[in-house]
Amino acid sequence: MSRQTAHTRILWLGDEACGNPAISGGKAASLSRLASRFPVPAGFCLSADLLEALTDAGVVIDTAAELLGEAYLELARRAGCDDPRVAVRSSAADEDGLGLSFAGQYETLLNIGAGRLVHAVEQCIASGRSDRVGAYRQQHGRADQPVRMAVLVQHLVPADVAAVAFSANPVSGDREEVVINASWGLGESIVGGTVTPDTWIIRKADGMVMSTMIAEKQRMTVLTDHGTMEVDVPRIMRAQPALTEQQAAAIAELAIQLEEESGHAVDVECAFADNALSLLQCRPITTLA
């Protein structure tokens, strides 16, 4: 490669260039901009241009595989562990933008080890071309624009508890309170709607817990050797609160700070692993009245 520009080299979350959604896609850009001040797991982004250079008909070419391998080693160094598992996610230019959420329309591959990284990236690229995404784009009047899709590779948080927090009540529209949904394991069961999570409502002004509804949490997403699976929560834990009060307070604080940072109400995905909070995603609330 002659000269590496911001478009054609691996970008790390927190790098200035990575914060440009035109290059790294909406999701990666937004996380990158937050990475220096918020607990965003280490990760790198393969921009749309770089992916074009690295692939041939959607297949990663040999030299690119080497590049990915090096980036993975660097990720291991930054994450401070030898064999980190990663999440491989699409990050389309228009995804997670202010207008449309595209939530769940693109592929996310979780718990990928070094050996399956290349394949995961290929799967992620393929998903950008899928009918499902095409239909969504068409439905929202974006069919004419070409898909500019980057791929984000991020250290996987082995979540003990996952939560989705809203910096404004998405149901009532009340902007004075944070609403938190939380459940055991990875966030996929909450996002996918297969579990009824606990609901916490916390008043922004003073952090007062206005209400908690501890749900019968039947299912949870756990890590397997090479991915994830959804399993039953043991009966004895179903009605136990997934979050402690301190954890709920920390999430509320995170949502408030992110709202201040972004200048608008946000929908935050986050997780606790070993009682350390990680920010996984931050999007504007698109449906707020």
Partner 1 sequence: MDTATAQPTTRRHDPRTLQAPANFPIRWEQPDDAKMYWELDLMHYPAPMAPLEFSLMLLYSHGFNTAAEQFELPVRMRNLHINTYSYQCIYPIALPPEGVLKMLNGIGRVFPGFTASIQKKAVDGQARKYLAKMTPFVDRLMEIWNNDWLPEIKEHLAFWDRFDLRSATTDALLKHFEESVQRSLRIGDIHFFIGIPQLYAISRYQDIYTDLFPGDHPLEAFTLLQGFDNKTLETDRELWRLSLAAASVPAVREVIVYADPANVLSRLKELPEAGEFLAALEAYLSEYGQRGDRFSTIGEVSWIENPAPVLKNLRDYLINPVPDPAEERIAHERARTEAVAAARARLKGYPKPVVEQFETALRAAQEGTILQEDHGFWIDYRCLYRLRRVVLEFGRRFAASGVCERNDDPFYLTIDELRETAAKLPAIDRRGLIARRREEEKRFASIKPPRAVGRLPLMPPPEADPVARTIVRFFGPSSAEQKDAACIRGTAGSTGVFRGTARVIRNLADASRLAPGEILVTETTAAPWTPLFATAGAVVTNTGGVLSHCALVAREYRIPAVVGTISATERIADGAQIEVDGNTGRVTLL
User: 193 is written with which tokens?
Assistant: 């709607």
What is the number of helices (H) and of strands (E) in the chain? 8, 15
Phi, psi of 232 (to 5 degrees): -75, 140
User: 210 is written with which tokens?
Assistant: 């206005």
Per CB under 8 A, contacts with partner 1 among 19-78 are none
Which member of 1, 98, 126, 237 binds partner 1 (CB under 8 A)?
237
CB of 85 to partner 1, least distance (A): 9
Decide: is 213 part of the binding site for partner 1 (CB under 8 A).
no
C-beta separation of 186 from 164 below 8 A: no
Nearer to partner 1, 93 or 233 (CB): 233
Nearer to partner 1, 12 or 272 (CB): 272
Q: Which positions from 129 to 168 touch partner 1 by CB under 8 A, shown as an x/- string?
A: -----------------------------xxxx-------
CB of 46 to partner 1, least distance (A): 26
Q: With CB under 8 A as the rule, give the number of residues binding partner 1.
A: 24
- Which DSSP string corresponds to 67-128? HHHHHHHHHHHHHT-SS--EEEEEEETTTT-SS---TTTS-EEEEE-GGGHHHHHHHHHHHH
Decide: is 127 part of the binding site for partner 1 (CB under 8 A).
no
Distance separating alpha carbons of residues 184 and 270, to the nearest angstrom: 12
Distance separating alpha carbons of residues 258 and 26, to the nearest angstrom: 16
Distance separating alpha carbons of residues 150 and 49, to the nearest angstrom: 8
Nearer to partner 1, 209 or 222 (CB): 222
Decide: is 234 part of the binding site for partner 1 (CB under 8 A).
yes
Decide: is 185 part of the binding site for partner 1 (CB under 8 A).
yes
Decide: is 102 part of the binding site for partner 1 (CB under 8 A).
no
Residues binding partner 1 (CB under 8 A) = 111, 158-161, 184-185, 220, 222-225, 228, 231-237, 239, 242, 273-274
